[in-house]
């Protein structure tokens, strides 16, 4: 009996245990499977081979970790429950303590607080978190919608079910079962690494740089509800409203992970009636003061904000952190309590959070001031 057969028979038992496969590894595995399908979608044989290689490598790794953690008795339990004769155990490694897990084509990293970092990672903040432009910022204006609110590229309304119970496969079309841990804590935001396939990321960077001339100054909705307002004291950046094929690509990826995201945020199912999306370029000195994304009547139907980070390599900017504030509801305004969560922009990473959450972007430092060296995001909103 091979390690892969054991995983196929008992994936639920093995992969639910965080000691064997951490939540971060399950997140990365899901992205790896999605990206492999995207890259090899035109060639079924290649897609099947890549999926099989990932399944085999992950299966062996999970099995060996189980043997190390739980001892040889796990083998007897699996054999007994699978109905396979004990003689089949001879095909398993004899000295599991000395085994080294084989590496898949894109190795699943060891458990840790984060997935692999980009070539030029953002330094981990020290004891003192980066300070926003105002220590206790006040929300002033919401970002201007890219266009009049309308369905994008024929995106059909979605009814998004919330996962029921503690377990659900994230990739039912794969031979690898990826399961949620029961009792997931509700998060203020959800961060997913390696969100797009490498080829998709490269094409998005190229498209963005080629369309520099089409970027325009970012607008906001003023406190009295006027649209098209440019307020450099509140928001400074440039946006591109025509995303080409990349809007469909990012929305397709979001559609695939949205049930899990909503479940972790504790948000009940809702029909996604339409979306907004834009590419934002932030260069030296650019920022966005504290605001929420649904604070005006014309954008009150926004429910989920997504921010996808990307940049040209090597990275040539610092700052531009996303600050998610703890806030108090004071009538029609949300006021920061002075505490906040900091998310440093990482290549090929996406962040989801409720539109009502008070947040801001700290000033960007880009010494070259070249457009190509900017901090880029593909960001937008899902409407109910």
Q: Which H or E run contains 221?
A: strand 220-221
Closest C-alpha to 176, from 364, 26, 362, 290: 26
Measured CA to CA, the distance from residue 375 to residue 349 in angstroms comes to 13
- Can you tell me whether residue 360 is helix, strand or coil? strand
Which DSSP symbol is given to 49? H
pLDDT value at position 76? 55
- pLDDT digit string (tens) for 218-244? 988 877 777 788 888 899 999 999 999
CA distances from 335 to 106, 144, 148, 234, 352 (A): 44, 21, 29, 16, 21
pLDDT value at position 112? 46
Measured CA to CA, the distance from residue 64 to residue 220 in angstroms comes to 54
Closest C-alpha to 36, from 24, 51, 25: 51
* pTM, two decimal places: 0.58
- pLDDT digit string (tens) for 254-272? 999 999 999 999 999 899 9
- pLDDT digit string (tens) for 328-368? 766 666 677 778 999 999 999 999 999 999 999 999 999 99
H-helix segments, 151-243 = 198-210
Residues of the chain scoring pLDDT < 50: 84-140, 147-186
CA distances from 324 to 63, 187, 241, 357 (A): 39, 12, 25, 7
Tokens read off for 65: 């970790």
Tokens read off for 268: 């009940």
């Amino acid at each position: 009996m091979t390690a892969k057969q054991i995983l196929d028979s008992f994936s639920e038992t093995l992969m639910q245990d965080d000691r064997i496969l951490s939540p971060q590894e399950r997140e990365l595995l899901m992205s790896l499977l999605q990206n492999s399908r995207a890259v090899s979608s035109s060639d079924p044989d290649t897609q099947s081979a890549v999926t099989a290689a990932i399944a085999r490598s992950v299966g062996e790794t999970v099995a060996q970790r189980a043997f190390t953690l739980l001892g040889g008795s796990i083998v007897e339990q699996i054999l007994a429950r699978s109905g396979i004769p004990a003689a089949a155990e001879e095909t398993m490694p004899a000295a599991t303590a000395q085994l080294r897990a084989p590496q898949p084509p894109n190795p699943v990293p060891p458990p840790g607080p984060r997935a692999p970092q980009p070539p030029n990672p953002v330094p981990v903040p020290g004891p003192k978190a980066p300070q926003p432009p105002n220590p206790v910022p006040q929300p002033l204006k919401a970002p201007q919608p890219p266009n009049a609110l309308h369905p994008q590229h024929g995106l059909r309304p979605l009814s998004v079910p919330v996962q029921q119970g503690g377990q659900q496969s994230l990739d039912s079309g794969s031979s690898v079962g990826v399961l949620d841990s029961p009792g997931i804590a509700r998060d203020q935001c959800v961060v997913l690494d390696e969100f797009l396939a490498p080829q998709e990321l490269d094409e998005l960077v190229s498209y963005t740089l080629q369309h520099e001339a089409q970027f325009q100054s970012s607008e906001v909705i003023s406190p009295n509800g006027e649209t098209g307002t440019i307020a450099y004291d509140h928001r400074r950046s440039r946006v591109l409203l025509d995303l080409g094929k990349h809007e469909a690509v990012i929305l397709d990826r979001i559609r695939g992970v949205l049930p899990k995201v909503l479940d972790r945020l504790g948000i009940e199912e809702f029909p996604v009636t339409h979306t907004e999306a834009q590419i934002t370029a932030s260069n030296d000195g650019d920022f966005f003061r504290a605001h929420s994304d649904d604070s005006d009547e014309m954008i009150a139907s926004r429910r989920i904000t997504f921010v996808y980070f990307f940049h040209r390599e090597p990275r040539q900017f610092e700052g531009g952190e996303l600050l998610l504030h703890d806030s108090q509801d004071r009538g029609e305004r949300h006021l920061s309590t002075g505490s906040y969560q900091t998310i440093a922009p990482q290549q090929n990473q996406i962040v989801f959070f409720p539109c009502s959450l008070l947040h801001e972007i700290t000033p960007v430092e880009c010494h070259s001031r070249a457009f190509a060296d900017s901090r880029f995001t593909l960001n937008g909103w899902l409407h109910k």
